[in-house]
Structure formats: structure tokens, C-alpha cells
Structure 1
């Protein structure tokens, strides 16, 4: 009766494959719809061919191109995030968050000492460094875009896994049928292959 286990395994793999394929396609569509809903469009200089800025220390120009293109998938979202980093590094002189002071002094110099910082007339608090705030905003937006790329890759992995399960399940059932296992079992009254009456010896 071992063939029953093979049939059950084949059917289970086909069902699991179908579920994984559905989830993979649905997740990928969800990522695309979510990105497209934000109506993001690449700026004209988000291309190696159209970028006119001067690279600064620590800046590597992306080799992708989303200039003037609507962003509606994970790959384009990651490219957009890479170009956002370039623009932010231009504004901060090539410095990242940890390399900038938290506040500005009366002379416009950066400092991390609140006692030396100028006072914001609206809040009465030490005046924050706008370049540092810009970096925080850029990283928050870029993280969301990069996560959409990760989500798209996971959905593609689920889709590929589902296809593999489906192929293995179908192959197993074909092997059991075309290979004669089920025919031998049913021909023997369901007793399994090799359990039928052997031909009489001459």
C-alpha cells in the first residue's frame, strides 16, 4: 500500500505549490499597487547620463535610470532610493547622519553641545541642524522604498518555490501512473505492486 503515500504526497505538493504561487503573485501585485499609489516619479537627473552634480566624498552614482519614470515596482523603488541618497549627500557635503552636529550655533556652525547652540525663536529649544534633519527624512523614505524591493523579491521567491512544488507533485503522480505503480496496484485488486498472482511455471 506504499503507493497511497506517494499519491497523497503528490497531491499535497500540487496543493502547496498552487497556494505558494497564488500568494507570490498576490504579494507581488500588492507591492506594485502600494508603490504606484504614492505616484512617485523620478527627477530628470536620476540617471547616470543626465546627472550634472559633482560627486563628493563617499558618493557612488547608481548605474540605474529612473529619470522621468513613474516608480511602480520594487527594482525602480530601490533605484529611486539610491538617487535620493546622492541628492542628500550633495546637500550635506558628503556627510552622513553621524558625521553632522545636532545643532547650529549663532554663527551657523554645527555643534552637538546644546549649550553652544542658537535658540529657535519659535520653540525656545536649541536650533536643530537642518542638514541632519534632511538626512533623517531621506533615510526614512529610502527605507520604505528599499523594503518594497525586499518584499518584491520575497514574493518572487514564493512564486518560484510554488512552481517547484507543483512540478515535483505532478512528476510524482506521473511516475506513479505512467511508471505502472498504480496500474500494478489496481490490477492486483488494490494490494499494491508485486502482490498479484504470479504466472504459473511451465
Structure 2
């Protein structure tokens, strides 16, 4: 199995070098490029076509959110994993909205960083423990029955499924609650993603939040 090709984007020299050393010593990863600002990150991502971009958010010039949005818009197959000190809800949701598939706080241990990179490289969505817990707690407070005037493009059942997605339930839990098969829930979820034009679950949750599903 070929190692995942990684582009490291961070303007802090020590942290960037630390990531390079960590990934260089990991058999499943290979650093193919390093950028110190958002503009360089976009240019290098388009040129190198890495599997995963490790993206800091706070950088001079073009910030990590804008860089993520441009990279994903041009090369949606590239997975962006945000690695940052910023843990506020606004930053998390903005990163997901821009297309990031993962969000990790600086200070994460080596196994967590490698596991997150491998998950994003495999097309999964992943959040560091603190971030994931915060998101689930927030969305469990959300209502499970969106009003009919929200997302009029969805059917009543799709709105019900979206409400439960926003509340943090997985497909099996939704199937159990609605009394349907997991396959049916997967079909509804695929239809929801297509109609709302989102790539994954986390983006659907952010969209639901911004529409007032609380």
C-alpha cells in the first residue's frame, strides 16, 4: 500500500518541522510539500495533488478557511484536515462549511494525528475528541423535527432524518428510532446530501444549524 501523500500548511516553523519529522517517521505517510501561507497552500495543492492537506487556520494573507474552500472547490478528492489551536464553534463550523473533512487541535498526540490523517485519506470525516464531544453536545440540544418551511426541497421523512442527523445520531440509531432499515436511512441520507449539495454528514449538520435547527 502506497503511503498517503501529505501537504503540510502552517506558518509556525517549530510546529511545521515537528509535523514533518513525525510524518517522515510514519510508514503510512509521506510529506510531499510544505507551505507557510494560504496562497501557497492552494497553489501547491493544485500542483502536487496530495491525498491530505494538514491545514492551519490562522495564517497571514489568505487564511486556512479560504484556502480550504479553494482547494476543495478545485480538487474535491483532496482531504483537508485542519490542525489548529482554534477550538471555538465558529472556527469549527466555518472549516466544515469550507469543505474540511477533519478538525484536530494542536497538541494532539502522535497516534491521534496519524489516525486522523488516515481517516481523512480514506474519505472519512473525523474530529478530535474535544471537538467531537462539543459538537455532539451542541447538536443533541437541537430539535429532531425541523419545521416544514425549513428545507422545502426535502420530503417530510427526509426532514425527520436530517433532524436526527443534526442531533448526533448515526444511521443505525436513526433506523431504530424510526422503525426502518439502516439501508432505508442510508438512502434518505444520500438524497439529503444530494438535495442540499453537501459532501458529508458534518456539512449537513452545519447547514441545519445555520437554517435555525435548534
TM-score grouping bracket, smaller chain normalisation: under 0.3
Whose strand fraction is larger, Structure 1's or Structure 2's?
2
TM-score norm. by structure 1 comes to 0.25
Whose helix fraction is larger, Structure 1's or Structure 2's?
1
TM-score norm. by structure 2 comes to 0.24
* Higher RCO (CA < 8 A, seq sep 6+): 1
